[in-house]
Structure formats: structure tokens, C-alpha cells
Amino acid sequence: MADIYLNKSGDGLPLAAGAHVWRRLFDIDEREALFETRGFRRPNESALARLELVGKAFISGYREALFSGPDGPRRALLGLAPEDLRGFVAEGAGMGCVVADTCSFGDRRLRCWIDSTARDFSYLTHVGVGWAMARIPFGWRSILRQLDPIHHWLAFDGMGFHDTYFHAGKVLGGWRRVRRGYRSSAYDQGVGRALWFVSGADIAWAAATIASLPPDRRGDLWSGLGLAIAYAGCADADALDRAKALAGRHAAGLAQGAAFAAAAHAQAGAAPAHTRFALQKLTGLDLPTIVARVAAARDALPEIERDGPPRYELWRGAISEFISERSSG
């Protein structure tokens, strides 16, 4: 795991000695990924090791980008991480590129990273951008216009995850950085993702937390939770069955989140066993079926935004509807 933290090619952290002071001010120590540091519920040792490893992989990608040159980190840094952690490294790098660009009054790092990950890690890169927007709450217009016209909503998902991960008590008590429009829905999807970590992979605790929040937020929260369960892992068969039962009328949203997680992993080249297992349990469908449907639903979206729900929401809705029809057919 040490190779995730130090790019031994000499591109990343070894250049920190000559970095500007502001980069050090925005640095994040790997201890921030520890559950003890965060105050999260402690899961069993296996889940604890996995979820902390995910956080450390994110931080490694962030630090590589933060201390990178004007063109950003090299894509080769992804190869330093195990295959199932590369998405988290890409996500962290997305955050680091935005922070470095903003503080140096540039934009090449983010542009380069978006281009280099468009084929396989676009989802994660866009989520990482939202983490940075939570840390630097200005210049959003300049940041957002660089993003994919459909995936750009994921920046607000990333913002919701960031706020919940670092300010869990405040967010789960009802506070939201974003409260209006579809941005708030995307934000809540990120809150739901972070719940898997905050809860210590305890589905009952996560479900009870969702139930304590306003009803109009619960669909997005369940969708985010489903994505985290399938993408990050740590749910056994009993937990997945319980998740479906506790989600109730939001079970299709839970399944949609799992479907997007599986498609994101598959786009990057492979879906881990835990993702395939969660997908089958939550949707009743196999990976090829879901991946094909997610791609087809995106291809069927209007070429431009129209009145009504954003294209990203239409995409999500199409997958929820497909899963519901297949499960009841």
C-alpha cells in the first residue's frame, strides 16, 4: 500500500519540497481517513480495514495532484494502486487538481485530468471536483464549465459526501450546504454515499438515519447509499437483503445506485467481486445486462437540456424504471 502514497517515479510528492506554502496549507494527512479520527461507528475489523483503505487511496490521489506541476498528475499514478482502488485515487486527484488550479490561478491540471480519465474514470473525477468545491467555495462557475454536461451534477454529489465525511454530526442533523434545485438532490446522493462510511457499514443504522431526515430527501439518500455499498464493498448477503427491505418504496433508487456503481467499475475495466455480488442482490440482474442498459440509457438522452428534470436525473430514472420492470416482470 505504500506505493499509493509516494509516486516513486519522482512526479508527485517528492516535488513537495519546492511547492508553494499554500499547497501545504491544503494538504490532508492520511490519518484523516481513520475512523478513530473521524469519529465514525467502528465496524468489524475487515470492514474497517477496507473502508479506511478507500479513504487513504483517495488522499493519495489528492496529494499527488495537489503537489503536481501545471499539467497535473500523470495518469500513471493510477497504476500504483490495486485495481479496485484506482477509482478512489482518480477521485482524490480530481479534488487535488481543482485546489491546485484555484490557488495558482490556473486550470490546466483539471482540464488535463478530465481528459485523461474521460474514458474510464469520468464519474469519479467529477465527484472529486465537488470535494474541492466544498473546500474552496468560490469560482464555481469557472470550475463547472469545464465539466461533462451530464456528469457535472456529480460535483454536487461529491460536495455532499465531503460535508458528511468531515462534518457528519452537522449534516446528519439536517444541515445542507446546497438546498435548492437539482443541485440539492445531487448533494443528497453524496450524503447517502457517505452514510456507508459514517455508519461503519451498518445498514440498520444508516437506514434509521435516513428515516430521521425529511421524506423528500430519502430517495436520493437511498440511491447514494446503494452506490457506496456496491462500489466500496463490505456488505454481506444478510446486509444486502436487509437494505432492500429497509429501503421499502425507495428500493428502486437503492438498486439504481448499485447499477451506476457497477457501470463505473466496469467502465474502468473490471468490476470487483463485491460489486457483482451487491448488484445481483440489489437488482436481481447481472453485470453485462446492467452495463449495457446504463450505456443505452445515456445514449438515449436528449442532446441538450430541456424543460423538466436534468438529463442526469432522466438517466437515473430510466435505470430505476428498468430495474423495477425487470424485477416485477
Residue 5 neighbours by CB distance under 10 Å:
17
> One-letter amino acid identity for 58?
F
Give the pLDDT band (50/70/90) at residue 21: confident
Whether residue 19 is predicted with pLDDT greater than 70 in this model: the reply is no
**26 lies in some domain:** yes
Residue pLDDT, tens place only, 201-222: 999 999 999 999 999 999 999 9
Concatenate the DSSP letters of all residues of 138-180 into one string.
S-HHHHHTTS-TTGGGHHHHHHHHHHHHHSHHHHHTT--S--S
pLDDT value at residue 137? 84
What are the residues whose beta carbons fall under 8 Å from the beta carbon of 263, sequence distance 6 or more?
A: 290, 291, 294, 295
Cα distance between residue 259 and residue 276, in whole Å: 10
Identity at 80, one-letter amino acid code: L
Evaluate whether 200 touches 43 at the Cβ level (below 8 Å): yes
> In this structure, which amino acid lies at residue 160?
G
Percent of the residues in the chain that have a pLDDT greater than 70, as a whole number: 93
Q: What confidence score (pLDDT) does residue 9 get?
A: 34
| Domain count within the chain | 1
**Domain that includes residue 35, residue range:** 1-148
- Residue 164 located in a structural domain: no
Q: What does pLDDT average to over the chain?
A: 92
User: Around 60, how many Cα atoms within 13 Å sit in the side-chain half-sphere?
Assistant: 25
**Digit-coded pLDDT (tens) for 274-315:** 999 999 999 999 999 999 999 999 999 999 998 999 999 999
E-only strand ranges, 177-243: none
Q: How many residues does the chain have?
A: 329
- In degrees and rounded to multiples of 5, residue 161 shows phi and psi of -65, -50
Cell numbers at 125, concatenated? 473525477
The Cβ of residue 104 has, within 10 Å, a number of other Cβ atoms equal to 14
Residue 102 within a domain: yes
Domain assignment present for residue 43? The answer is yes
Whether residue 10 is predicted with pLDDT greater than 50 in this model: the reply is no
Torsion of CA 6, 90, 155, 53, to 10 degrees: -70
Q: What is the DSSP letter of 300?
A: T
Predicted pLDDT at 106: 76
The answer on pLDDT for 11 being more than 90 is no
Is residue 298 assigned to a domain? Answer: no
- The confidence score (pLDDT) of residue 329 equals 59
**pLDDT for 23:** 77
User: Is the predicted pLDDT of residue 163 greater than 60, yes or no?
Assistant: yes
Percent of the chain past pLDDT 90, that is, above it, reads 87
Tell me what pLDDT residue 18 has.
42
Rounded Cα–Cα distance for residues 319 and 264 (Å): 14
Name the band, by pLDDT with cuts 50, 70 and 90, for residue 327. confident
In a domain, 258, yes or no: no
Using CA atoms, how far residue 272 sits from 93, 231, 297, in Å, is 21, 8, 23
Give the integer Cα–Cα distance in Å for 88 and 188. Answer: 20
CA 29 to chain CA centroid, Å, is 20
Residue 234 has pLDDT above 70, yes or no: yes
Examine residue 3 and state whether it is found in any structural domain, yes or no. yes
The CA-to-CA distance between both ends of the chain, in Å, stands at 45
**Region of 39 on the Ramachandran plot (φ > 0 left; ψ -120 to 50 alpha; else beta):** left
The answer on pLDDT for 246 being more than 90 is yes
98 is a domain residue: yes
pLDDT of res. 62: 97
